[in-house]
Structure 1
Amino acid sequence: MMYEDYMIKPYVSPDRDPKEGVKPVPKRNMEPLADGLLAGDIILLWRINFGTFTNESWYPKYFEYTYGIDGPSHLTQLVENGYAYEESAFNSLDHLNSSQKRAILKERGVKGLSKMKAADLDDALTKSLSEEELGQYFTVRGIALTRKGEEALANHQEIVDRHPKKKM
């Protein structure tokens, strides 16, 4: 009943405790922007823009509690609508550590691994495996913005500006 006058109703996880005292999602966060996105979509694009977001990333509770969206399903929509894409295995290598890369190369019979630095490991992987072969060794894939996603993020900077930031 608290969201009766909202054009788009906020997402409420079926796992959420109904007795949990949560503030209502601000109405402005549930109003579609000119391009049809919601404020939560912009924050998701902003998170992707850091270059650390993957298909295995966890979603902070603020996506549901502050922005009223189900992060994973909205990521799927952003990809389907051309705002973001899943990177290839080679482009996702920066999400693996050196030990994981060495293990792949060791299995492929590559020698001299102990002397290789990160860039050397990436180079050896590129020379030793095809995209398809590499993709069979790990499932994590980076998520990146398309030009359309970058433009949407730039066009809605005010949403990012009002989002609370961690103090570094």
Structure 2
Amino acid sequence: MSFEKRIEEMYKDHEVKPYISHERDLGQWLLEPKPVPKRNMVRLEEGILPGDIILLWRISLGSFETTTPYSKYFEYSYGIDGPAHMEQLIADGYARVETAFESLDHITSTAKKNILKAEGVTGLSKMKASEVDQALKDHLTEEQLAPYFKVRGYALTEKGQAALDNHPEVIAKHPMKRMYKS
């Protein structure tokens, strides 16, 4: 039986067929397959999947940013293409990409001071972290700051927070949840 037929048989009763990356070594994976649980491929009342709730939860922790690599569990446990689903969550109004000013907590104080130095601001060595952030706000606009760094955080919208709040059972079943704040 071909890999495709074996996978089709494995997921025949799933409401939504799990995403399988073209980069996955199907032969190796099928030696000891661990199928995506059926419960993770059932659309929730909002029309999103449990993997989307996990993405929203990761955003809510405040450390998920545009440069964060997507864990394999999005594909292997939740059956979703993490980056594609993130784009869809943003398009559907569940999350948004933060502005440069909102993303300042994702860069170092040294990087912030270097931005100010490049803008001709002096007296940086005596500034505390909060003063550096204020100096950036005082001396730059969003348009001036944005090109200095690419990393941006993600933020939940009200719609995203509501979806997350509606599905604590998804988070409760997520492995390794003790690694993150709740």
| Alignment-derived partner of residue 108 in structure 1 | 119
Q: Secondary structure at the match of 1:14?
A: coil
Task: Choose which of 95, 108, 120 in structure 2 pairs with 1:97.
Answer: 108
Q: Which amino acid aligns with 2:84?
A: S
* Deviation, structure 1 residue 8: 1.0
For residues 27-69 of structure 1, the C-alpha deviation after alignment (integer angstroms, 9 at most, x for no partner) is: 1100101110101000110000001111111111110000000
| Alignment-derived partner of residue 161 in structure 2 | 150
* Deviation, structure 1 residue 102: 0.8
Q: Which amino acid aligns with 2:26?
A: P
Q: Which amino acid aligns with 1:89?
A: A
Q: State the aligned residue count.
A: 168
- Under a length normalisation based on structure 1, what TM-score does the superposition of the two structures give? 0.96
- Under a length normalisation based on structure 2, what TM-score does the superposition of the two structures give? 0.89
For residues 71-126 of structure 1, the C-alpha deviation after alignment (integer angstroms, 9 at most, x for no partner) is: 00000010011100011110110101001101101111111111112111100100
Task: Choose which of 23, 27, 52 in structure 2 pairs with 1:15.
Answer: 23
* Deviation, structure 1 residue 136: 1.1
Alignment map for 1:24-39 (pairs within 5 Å): 24-39=35-50
Alignment map for 1:49-88 (pairs within 5 Å): 49-88=60-99
Q: Secondary structure at the match of 2:28?
A: coil
* Deviation, structure 1 residue 20: 2.5
Superposition misfits of 4+ residues, deviation over 3 angstroms = none
Between Structure 1 and Structure 2, which shows a larger proportion of helix residues?
2
Q: Secondary structure at the match of 2:26?
A: coil
Q: Secondary structure at the match of 2:96?
A: strand
Q: Secondary structure at the match of 1:90?
A: coil
| Structure 1: gaps (5+ residues) | none
RMSD of aligned alpha carbons: 1.1
Aligned partners of 1:88, 1:60: CA distance in 2, in Å? Answer: 24
For residues 122-155 of structure 1, the C-alpha deviation after alignment (integer angstroms, 9 at most, x for no partner) is: 0010011110000011111110000110110000
